[in-house]
A and B are shown apart, each in its own frame.
Chain A
Amino acid sequence: MHPIIKLVSQRLALGFLLLFGASALIFGLTEALPGDAAQAVLGQAATPEALANLREEMGLNRPALTRYFEWLGGIVQGDLGQSLTNKLDIAESIGSRLGNTLFLAFWAAVVSVPLAIFLGLLAVRYRNRWPDKLISAVTLTTISIPEFLIGYVLVYFVAVKLGLFSPLAMINDSMSFWQKLNSIALPVIVLTLVVLAHMMRMTRAAILNVMQSAYVETAELKGLSNFQVIYRHAFPNAVAPIVNVVMLNLAYLVVGVVVVEVVFVYPGMGQYLVDHVTKRDVPVVLACGVIFAAIYIGLNMIADIVAILANPRLRHPK
Chain B
Amino acid sequence: MKNIPISAMIGLAFTALYFIIALLAPLLAPYGMAEVVGDVWEPSSSQFWLGTDNIGRDLLSRMIYGGRTTIFIATVATILSFVTGSILGFLAAVLGGWADQVMSRMVDLIMSIPTLIFALVVLAMVPVTIPVLILVMGLLDSTRVYRLARAVAVDIAVMDYVEAARLRGEGQAWVIFREILPNALSPLVAELGLRFIFMVLFVSTLSFLGLGVQPPLADWGGIVKENKDGIVYGIGAALYPAVAIATLAISVNLVADWVLNRTTSLKGGRG
Contacts and interface: CB of A to CB of B under 8 A. Distances in A.
Contact of A149 (B122, B239, B250): B239
Contact of B205 (A155, A259, A288): A259
A297 B118 CA distance: 13
A273 B210 CA distance: 13
Nearest to A40: B125
Contact of B232 (A167, A274, A280, A281): A167
B4 interface: no
Contacts of A33: 122, 125-126
Contact of B113 (A146, A149, A263, A293): A293
Contacts of B152: none
B37 interface: no
B245 A153 contact: no
Contact of A148 (B125, B197, B224): B224
B205 A254 contact: no
A153 to B, nearest CB: 6
Contacts of B117: 255, 258, 273, 288-289, 292-293, 296
B205 A26 contact: no
B249 A289 contact: no
A293 to B, nearest CB: 5
Nearest to B120: A277
B234 A161 contact: yes
A155 B231 contact: yes
A35 interface: yes
A244 interface: no
A58 B211 CA distance: 27
Contacts of B116: 255, 258-259
Contact of B245 (A29, A146, A278): A146
A145 B211 CA distance: 19
A141 B250 contact: yes
Interface in A143-165: 143-150, 152-153, 155-156, 160-161
Interface string B221-253: 100100010011110101101100110011001
Nearest to B208: A148
B17 interface: no
Contacts of A161: 234
Contact of A25 (B113, B221, B234): B113
Interface stretch (B81-89, B104-112, B142-150): B104-112
B113 A282 contact: no
Contacts of A274: 120, 209-211
Contacts of A254: 114
Nearest to A286: B121
A292 B253 CA distance: 30
A53 B90 CA distance: 49
Contact of A146 (B115, B204, B233): B204
A273 B109 contact: no
A127 B108 CA distance: 35
A34 to B, nearest CB: 7
A276 to B, nearest CB: 7
B55 interface: no
B123 interface: yes
B124 interface: yes
A145 B246 contact: yes
A30 B231 contact: no
A259 B209 contact: yes
Contacts of B125: 29-30, 33-35, 40, 280, 282
Given A18-B109, A21-B109, A146-B205, A140 B121 contact: no
B203 to A, nearest CB: 10
Interface in A119-153: 140-141, 143-150, 152-153
B201 interface: yes
A226 B232 CA distance: 50
A259 B112 contact: no
B118 to A, nearest CB: 8
A278 B113 contact: no
Contacts of B113: 22, 25-26, 289, 292-293, 296
Contacts of B108: 18
Contact of A144 (B234, B238, B246): B246
A285 interface: yes
Contacts of A285: 120-121, 124
Contact of B211 (A278, A282, A289): A278
A262 interface: yes
B104 to A, nearest CB: 13
Contacts of A203: none
Given A149-B224, A285-B121, A293-B112, A167 B245 contact: no
Interface string B183-212: 000000000000001000100110011110
Nearest to B202: A146
Interface of B: 108-110, 112-118, 120-126, 197, 201, 204-205, 208-211, 221, 224, 228, 231-234, 236, 238-239, 241-242, 245-246, 249-250, 253
3 closest Cβ contacts across the A-B interface? A144-B249, A149-B242, A277-B124
13 contacts: A35-B125, A140-B250, A144-B245, A146-B221, A156-B238, A160-B232, A255-B116, A277-B124, A285-B120, A289-B121, A292-B114, A296-B114, A297-B112
Given A144-B246, A145-B249, A293-B117, 9 more contacts: A18-B109, A144-B253, A146-B201, A146-B208, A147-B205, A152-B231, A276-B124, A285-B124, A289-B118
